Chain A
Amino acid sequence: MIYTTKNTGAVFNWDEYFMKLKNGEVATLDVESYFHNVRGLLSENAHLLALVLGDVLRKLLKGVQVKPEPRVLELGAGTGFLTRLLLTMYGGSGALVDNCRTSFDAYNRIKDKSGDRITYQLEDLFALKVTEPFDMVCSFGLIEHFKEKQKILSIHKEHCRPDGHMILIVPMDSFLTRAYYEVHPEINLGYRELLTKKTALEQIQASGLQPVRAEVSQGYVYDFLAVLCKG
């Protein structure tokens, strides 16, 4: 995409611009189509997400001894995108937990061959009982929905082996992320607190987790922050 402009001065002539609009010399500014164009530009794309998230995970786990065939637990999993991607990259098995029936049904519609290595528990993650802690505990888009974050962060640690790892991913407070949520009001149904990298790391540390590395996504339709913590 190339944008050109003949305006090289410091001040853009808005009077002239709107006069041209009024005279029909440039396309009329239709607020609704403008809004939908921006929505179209900033719309979720699972293929792009796989690449961007895959890149973030590789940077996050570079040099980290990931246990072969790791057992992965994803809290508030939705369709388990993060776990399915981790299994594609590192093998292993996954357990997804979510209390949302819609997400559970959506997962069952899209699950592929990796479904044999994944179990899905439709229940409240705070009531979750596991027989053995996991090598990796993760969440993607969960923590920002809780005003009080200590409890939800502690749950990650509770189910993680002492020598395991946690991967916490949240949408990051940035101009791009704000613009994304601004044009997608239909997904702003509950509490969502956008966190800066600094605030997220402070909250994580205050909850007794040890962040070892943090990476910010590049090239997706909103920015997200991924933090790797020790078990």
Chain B
Amino acid sequence: MSMHEQIRNFIQDNLVVFDDEVEFSNEDNIFELGFVNSLFAMKLVTYIESEFNTTIESDEMDINNFNTIDNIVNFISSKTVYQ
């Protein structure tokens, strides 16, 4: 499974709307779409840390790192490169 699919599956597991109402691209802002609740951002941080065996530092807790699937994947990839 690609990282994009993995992240998409995690988002879909945490939707606050019914699956059949949901359609979003890799570039869509998942927070602005209203498909996830207000706590999801932190849940996503915890998921990324455990699933990709990394630590997200304070200065990386920027909402722009987590608002689209593309941005999340780019962020994880950049961390993996530096590790």
Contacts and interface: CB of A to CB of B under 8 A. Distances in A.
A81 B38 contact: yes
Q: Mostly helix, strand, loop or mixed at chain A's interface? A: helix
Interface residues of A, number: 21
B37 A85 contact: no
Contact of A52 (B31, B61, B66): B61
Interface stretch (B20-28, B39-47, B74-82): B39-47
B62 interface: yes
A54 B38 contact: no
Contacts of A49: 38
A89 B42 contact: yes
B41 A47 contact: yes
B42 A219 contact: no
Chain B interface secondary structure, helix, strand, loop or mixed?
helix
B58 A50 contact: no
A54 B42 contact: yes
Nearest to A215: B58
Contacts of B66: 51
Given A50-B38, A89-B42, 14 more contacts: A47-B31, A47-B38, A50-B41, A51-B41, A51-B42, A51-B62, A54-B45, A84-B39, A85-B39, A88-B43, A110-B38, A112-B16, A112-B39, A219-B62
